[in-house]
Amino acid sequence: MTETAAADAAAAKPSEPVEGSADVIVVGAGPAGATTAYHLARAGLDVLLLEKSSFPREKVCGDGLTPRAVKQLVEMGIDVSEGAGWLHNKGLRIIGGGVRLELDWPDLASFPDYGLVRKRADFDELLARQAEKAGARLYERANVSGPLLDDRTGRITGVTAKLGEEKRPVVFTAPLVIAADGNSTRLSLAMGLHRREDRPMGVAYRTYFTSPRHDDDYLESWLELWDRRHGQATLMPGYGWIFGMGDGTSNVGLGLLNTTSSFGEIDYRELLKSWCANMPAEWGYTPENMTEPIRGAALPMAFNRQPHYTRGMLLVGDAGGMVNPFNGEGIAYAMESGKIAAEVVVQAHARVTEAGRERALQAYPRVLKDVYGGYYTLGRAFVKLIGNPKVMRLATERGLTHPMLMRFVLKLLANLTDPQGGDAMDRIINGLAKVAPNA
């Protein structure tokens, strides 16, 4: 433990026994936390990675990874070959308005030209173990209950937790804490950081079916989800997905945005069942083939919790509302924000004065906004547009008949462009994101 860590631990005077001290504590060992811990440990920092559950554990997700996430996995040294259990995919199949369109992932210098599929229970543990291999100290069944604060400065100096099956009260101390504890992020709430109501929120519900479509080499997105209550059919702002898992099952789910007036009234489980009931019988998406219950989760989008740094705590992934509002993708941005946070912390750690360290840490929100701010602003405008059923219907009926337009849309929605050079589509998307406000 560094002198700074020791001093902060002493100032906090925890009432519970100190279980461990480090340079940095990362709360949550999902993709955001594990990636952050990996890069911190690789840089030589002493890192505690605290996970409230034990691996393997379930998470609600589509299990599909775009090339953005693949890039982060490769940078972490993860073997993403098919021989290592990954199902590769070529791109996205879009279905809607009577049109079926297959779009390959773009051929770019900045990102691989393939996506992946893997169950989250397995995926998250792979990342956490990789962080362990890099030197991070992983504590499973470490349920963080709140921040430990310095009475003099109000800065976070560690966390309180219940450890193990016996839920033994303990304290972990460090001068910096990374909140990677997901959408619920109890740690952020305890530090006074609440969700912004002016940012979009989504929900996702999914289940698994045994199916002959399990080895599909495209991710499949259905753009027409109809709410048929009240004697009328309303096109919902969202999409359904079918992702083959390569193991005899398909992940089938739906994602919806809160831009419709009926958002809080919809029975999403029934909506998913109704959608599946209209699928071809030979696909097997029937109740008797369901292998797991229907589960749901919130999708916090477009920086819906800020600031991303305050009083010794940084937010990464869902805790900071990093989900892409265009397509609901969260894993890539969880991993990317984790890497960005680690880079900032490593630079701050090398400063020789407290003021210098604080200046470096305060740059973190600015870096995030430089990277994502303009793009997320475009995404918020997109969310408002498709919240109008007439706009959603027009986009579905007209847009899908123009393959060139849809290739542009794929690049925009998946945020897959080359930042330098690239083709005309890349330059348009990058230009729009650059001029949009970094809010």
Lowest mean pLDDT among 140-144, 275-279, 402-406, 423-427: 402-406
- Tens of pLDDT, residues 400-437: 778 888 899 999 999 999 998 889 999 999 999 999 99
Q: State pTM to two decimals.
A: 0.93
Residue 3 — very low, low, confident or very high, per pLDDT cuts 50/70/90?
very low
Q: Which domains does the chain have, with CATH numbers?
A: 18-88+118-197+301-382 (3.50.50.60)
Strands 142-149 and 156-163, by their bridges, are antiparallel
Whole-number Å distance between alpha carbons of 129 and 126: 5
Share the mean pLDDT of the chain.
91
Q: Give exposure, 235-269, as e/b (b: 16+ Cβ within 10 Å).
A: bbbbbbbbbbbbeebbbbbbbbbbbbeebeebebe
pLDDT in the model for residue 97: 80
Whole-number Å distance between alpha carbons of 413 and 341: 24
If you search the block for the tokens 């900071």, which residue do you land on?
320
Judge whether residue 1 has pLDDT over 70. no
Judge whether residue 4 has pLDDT over 60. no
- Tens of pLDDT, residues 221-251: 998 887 776 667 777 788 999 999 999 999 9
